Amino acid sequence: MKEKTVALAGGSGFIGRTIVRRLAAAPALKLRVLSRNPEKARAQLWESHAEFVAADISDPDSLRTALEGADAVIDSIQFDGYPIENPRRGLTFDRIDLGGVLALIAAAKAARLTQFIYISGAAADETSSHPAFRAKGRAERAIRESELDYTIFRPSLVYGPEDAVVNSFVKLLKYAPVFGVPGTGRQKVQPVLVDDLAECVALALEGRGHNGTYEVGGPDLMTFDDLIRTLMDASGHRRPIVHIPAGLMRGFGALAEKLPSPLLSRDAVTFVTADNACDIAPLVAEFGVKLTPARVGMRYLAKK
C-alpha cells in the first residue's frame, strides 16, 4: 500500500492529539503535525513518531511549506481563549476558523493535496447571527466548493481525559460550594468521547464519509443540567446546581468585553446556552462506530 502523508493543523490540541495517537497506530501513514510551537507539540506527542513543523494559520507561506508533499490535511484548529473572541489580538471566529480554513484550502491546492477533513461544530450554520456558528458554516461551504475530497465532522461537546471543558467543570464541582449553570440548564448537549471522533477521522482517511457532512455526538442526548449530574455521578463530587440567568451573564459579558483580555463575552454566553443536539444516525450508518455511553466514557473522572 502506498504510504500516505497526513498533515494535522491543530494536531497539538485536545482533539488533534487524540487523532494523532489514533493515526500513529495505522500502518502506511506518515504524520505531520503543524504547530506554532513544534517543540512543545513534539514533547506532548513524542511517542507518535510524527514530524513536527512550524506553521501559523495566519501565515499563508508557512502553510504552503508545511503542506508540501502531503496527501491529506485535517483541520482541528481553534483560537486561544475560544469561545471568547479577542478582536484586539485577532482572535476571532472569522479570522481563525473561517480564515484558517480558507488559507488551508489555498495551501492544500498549491500542494496538490487531495483530501480535506474538517472538525467543524454542531450548530454550524452560515446564516446564523452568531459569529461561531456562522464562521463554521461558511468554512464548511468553502470546503464543499473547493473541489477537494472532503469529510466534515460537526461534533457536539467532545470530552476525554485531556479536555478543557469537562475537566474544568469537575474541578468546579470539587472545589466550589455550588455549581453555576449558565441559563436554564435545559439547553441540549450530546457529549461524545474524543476517541470515538478520532476513530471516525481515521475511517474518513480510508475513504469513509466521502464528501459528506456528519453530526457527531454520543449516544446520550441530555440537558446541560443532566450533564452536570452525570459528572457528579462519575466524579463523586456532588453540589447543588444554581442557574445563572443568561441575561445577567450577558450583562457581565458586555462589561468584560471592554477589558484587554476578556474572560467572558455576550457571544460566549449565547454559545454555551445554545442547543448542541445531533442527529447521529447518518454517522453510525456510514462509519459503523459504536459510540461510547457517557457513563462509560466518563469513568476516568472517578480519579479526579
Ligand X SMILES: NC(=O)c1ccc[n+]([C@@H]2O[C@H](COP(=O)([O-])OP(=O)(O)OC[C@H]3O[C@@H](n4cnc5c(N)ncnc54)[C@H](OP(=O)(O)O)[C@@H]3O)[C@@H](O)[C@H]2O)c1
* Residues near ligand X, by CB under 6 A: 10, 12-16, 35-37, 41, 55-58, 76-79, 96, 119, 121, 155, 157-158, 165
CB of 68 to ligand X, least distance (A): 17
Residue with nearest beta carbon to ligand X: 13
Q: Is 174 in a helix, a strand, or coil?
A: helix
CB of 16 to ligand X, least distance (A): 5
C-beta of 50 vs 55, nearer to ligand X? 55
CA neighbor of 14 nearest in space, from 171, 158, 228: 158
The region, left, alpha or beta by phi > 0 then psi within -120 to 50, assigned to residue 262 is beta
C-beta of 57 vs 173, nearer to ligand X? 57
Q: Is 189 in a helix, a strand, or coil?
A: strand
CA neighbor of 117 nearest in space, from 131, 132, 101, 106: 101
3-state helix, strand, coil in the chain (%, to 5): 45, 20, 35
CB of 251 to ligand X, least distance (A): 26
C-beta of 53 vs 244, nearer to ligand X? 53
C-beta of 165 vs 296, nearer to ligand X? 165
CA distance 97 to 215: 18
C-beta of 2 vs 293, nearer to ligand X? 293
Q: Please state, as a whole number, how many other Cβ atoms lie within 10 Å of the Cβ of residue 43.
A: 11
CB of 70 to ligand X, least distance (A): 15
Contact between 35 and 54 (Cβ < 8 Å): yes
CA distance 247 to 116: 39
Which residue intervals of the chain are DSSP H helices?
14-24, 38-45, 60-67, 99-110, 131-144, 165-175, 194-205, 224-235, 246-256, 266-273, 281-287, 294-297
C-beta of 76 vs 187, nearer to ligand X? 76
CB of 194 to ligand X, least distance (A): 8
C-beta of 36 vs 304, nearer to ligand X? 36
CB of 163 to ligand X, least distance (A): 6
CB of 126 to ligand X, least distance (A): 15
Task: Tell me the helices (H) and strands (E) count for the chain, helix number first.
Answer: 12, 13
